[in-house]
Structure 1
Amino acid sequence: MEHPNADEPATDTGGGLVRVRLEVSYDGTALHGWARQPGQRTVQGELELGLATVLRRDVDLTVAGRTDAGVHATGQVAHTDLRADLLAQHEGTLLRRLRGVLPADIAVTGVHVVSPDFDARFAALARHYVYRLTDAEFGPPPLRRADTAAWGRRLDAGRMRVAAALLLGQQDFAAYCRRREGATTIRTLLQLDVERHGDVIEVRASADAFCHSMVRSLVGALIAVGEGRREPGWPASLLSLTSRANDVPVAPAGGLTLVRVDYPDESQLAARALVTRAKRAPDPTTAS
């Protein structure tokens, strides 16, 4: 699950550089998350290597959401700054050439020159995730086995839906987050819907941002309700806690996919980044 990449500063766009937005998709099954790690295959590591191979220049990427090991993406967004003349040399061929050097589980699906105010992380309005799981006896459909988690007990999607609705709004989600020093756990949960389609249950989660492990922990709590082990009000009752709840299970990573990141109009990018950089504070009208 995504958590903000606080160690990546915004990039200076001076010196004849242009800001470039990349749309990225990946199957996270064999990847150790987004962030580069020595000796491990990661999305950032593979992408930066692929870009450097094609452009013959080192590239540093800033990402909308640092997904965890095993988590997938169909709508990830990153940005970097490149010399305008260098980008012009590869205009029209960059996607094809990246396809030739990137591993099969990572794809760059779009490259666009954007405003220098665009920041993949700080200018984002919302991140949207889908969690897929199946309670079918035979497990996930073979063609969806990478992005659909298997669950061994029948789940009541109606009970899960009731519990999900009680979690919406601006809250302190400390009970559902792995603590990071100096990072806030206050988030605005915009959507948490549960739908059953045959033997597959989809949980759709949208928020201004998600802290470390938040989506998978929310899904784990909803699963406990769906199994009948907890009452629908239990997940919301944990919002009064100021640290992670030990009894909240974390759903398997393979069911989670980042599907979209929303951004404001170009004229609002700089203002949005300023708001996001400011420390979040609870809204007394919605926090519990």
Structure 2
Amino acid sequence: MHRYLLNISYIGTTFRGIQKTVNKAEQPRLDTQSIQGCLELALRVFHPVNEIQTVLSSRVHTIFSTDAGVHALHSTVHVDLERPNGQPYDTTTLTGVLNRTLDKQRLPIRVLSSQLVADTFHCRYHATGRTYLYRFAVNKHPPSEEDNFRNKAYEAFVPVEEIDRCYFLQSPSFDIDRVRAASQLFVGVHDFRTFMSISRQKNLSRDHPMFTVRKIDKISIRPGGAVAVAPNAALAAATYNYWDIEIKAKSFLYKQVRRIVGALIALGSGRIDERCIYQMLTIPSKNSWDHRVLLAPACGLYLCRVHYRNN
């Protein structure tokens, strides 16, 4: 038996989430609505002797707590495979065959690389950190508040290539300098209870008083860019200011990144002020959430990198 680390990327729009669902009351079946299920289906072409069970680098959730629509530029899974002759699979062949199989099924999943790792390696427990990227774009010439009320915002140009890849704002005003300054309030160790959505998963560790304490290592906000193609690229650049928010930490709570981004966007749009963010951070409670803050849509969120000691 040999263990392999698969470095993968995917567009999550058409999937329910990354984790497969397992109903113990039913016969085992492949869940092709999840990234994990599709990978396990593709791995069947190698006909290993053992049962295929992939392990995700992200925290395990149930169907109700899996973020649908989130993308990954780099994520990882590990899997044990036993070849009939006992020899390891060639990792270059493993990568190529998996990509060919996924491509035949027209699945937006790509295996970036495969590597043989020690039997003791665990892609989740050995991860030293994770970096998330959130992409959003703000209209340079937004409609007025009155026009927004009249649904004029929906007449604004949005490049079709960016649908479900970026969050487009038609805010009457947006202060990115204010957002940059306030983002540093989140850096460091905090109790992020206010910024955690409650999943329906029964998780005993969630009741531990330290469960919602996390350390944000870094938040950076920099100009982004359109991924549209000509002629939409020029029009997108003329219409929108693109921004990338990168957040790095060892681990995150459920929907923590989308809640942080939602709070920063609400600040930049003038719906809340810095005091609201300070209160949500310093009075950690689900009751402290300011309902003027909207959860940032999943379409703009990308798992950018899973970090290990050797990368």
TM-score (norm 2): 0.73
Larger mean CA deviation between 109-118 and 176-185 belongs to 176-185
**TM-fit CA distance, 1:165:** 0.5
CA contact (8 A) 1:71 1:255 kept: yes
Q: Mark the structure with the bigger radius of gyration.
A: 2
Query: Would the alpha carbon gap of residues 24 and 89 (structure 1) be closer, same or farther in structure 2, given more than 3 Å must change?
Result: closer
Letter of the aligned partner of 2:15 in structure 1?
Answer: L
* 1:272-283 mapped onto 2 (5 Å cutoff): none
Gaps in structure 1 of 5+ consecutive residues: 1-16, 267-288
Letter of the aligned partner of 2:253 in structure 1?
Answer: C
> Is residue 53 of structure 1 aligned with residue 45 of structure 2?
yes
For residues 302 and 113 of structure 2, what CA distance do their matches in structure 1 show? 18
Q: Aligned match of 1:62 in 55, 59, 70?
A: 55
> Is residue 229 of structure 1 aligned with residue 274 of structure 2?
no
For residues 123 and 140 of structure 1, what CA distance do their matches in structure 2 show? 40
Number of residue-to-residue matches in the alignment: 250
> Is residue 213 of structure 1 aligned with residue 249 of structure 2?
no
> Is residue 168 of structure 1 aligned with residue 187 of structure 2?
yes
What's the CA shift string for 1:251-285, capped at 9, x where partnerless?
A: 0000000010111249xxxxxxxxxxxxxxxxxxx
For residues 174 and 34 of structure 2, what CA distance do their matches in structure 1 show? 33
Larger mean CA deviation between 213-222 and 47-56 belongs to 47-56
Identity %: 30
Find the residue that maps to 2:221 and give its secondary structure: strand
**TM-fit CA distance, 1:45:** 0.9
> Is residue 98 of structure 1 aligned with residue 143 of structure 2?
no
**TM-fit CA distance, 1:162:** 1.2
Larger mean CA deviation between 148-157 and 131-140 belongs to 131-140
Find the residue that maps to 1:155 and give its secondary structure: coil
For residues 130 and 35 of structure 1, what CA distance do their matches in structure 2 show? 20
CA contact (8 A) 1:140 1:149 kept: no
Find the counterpart in structure 1 of residue 174 from structure 2: 155
CA contact (8 A) 2:13 2:70 kept: yes
Find the counterpart in structure 1 of residue 27 from structure 2: none
> Is residue 41 of structure 1 aligned with residue 44 of structure 2?
no
Query: Would the alpha carbon gap of residues 238 and 110 (structure 1) be closer, same or farther in structure 2, given more than 3 Å must change?
Result: same
Find the counterpart in structure 1 of residue 153 from structure 2: none
TM-score (norm 1): 0.79
> Is residue 108 of structure 1 aligned with residue 111 of structure 2?
yes
**TM-fit CA distance, 1:71:** 0.2
Find the counterpart in structure 2 of residue 262 from structure 1: 307
CA contact (8 A) 1:139 1:151 kept: no
CA RMSD of aligned residues (A): 2.3
Letter of the aligned partner of 1:237 in structure 2?
Answer: Q
What's the CA shift string for 1:36-79, capped at 9, x where partnerless?
A: 13666111111111112333453212222256110000110111
For residues 89 and 104 of structure 1, what CA distance do their matches in structure 2 show? 23
> Is residue 30 of structure 1 aligned with residue 14 of structure 2?
yes
For residues 302 and 178 of structure 2, what CA distance do their matches in structure 1 show? 23
Find the residue that maps to 2:265 and give its secondary structure: helix
What's the CA shift string for 1:104-143, capped at 9, x where partnerless?
A: 3111111101133321111111100110011225455443
Find the residue that maps to 1:76 and give its secondary structure: strand
CA contact (8 A) 1:129 1:205 kept: yes
Gaps in structure 2 of 5+ consecutive residues: 23-30, 60-65, 143-155, 225-239
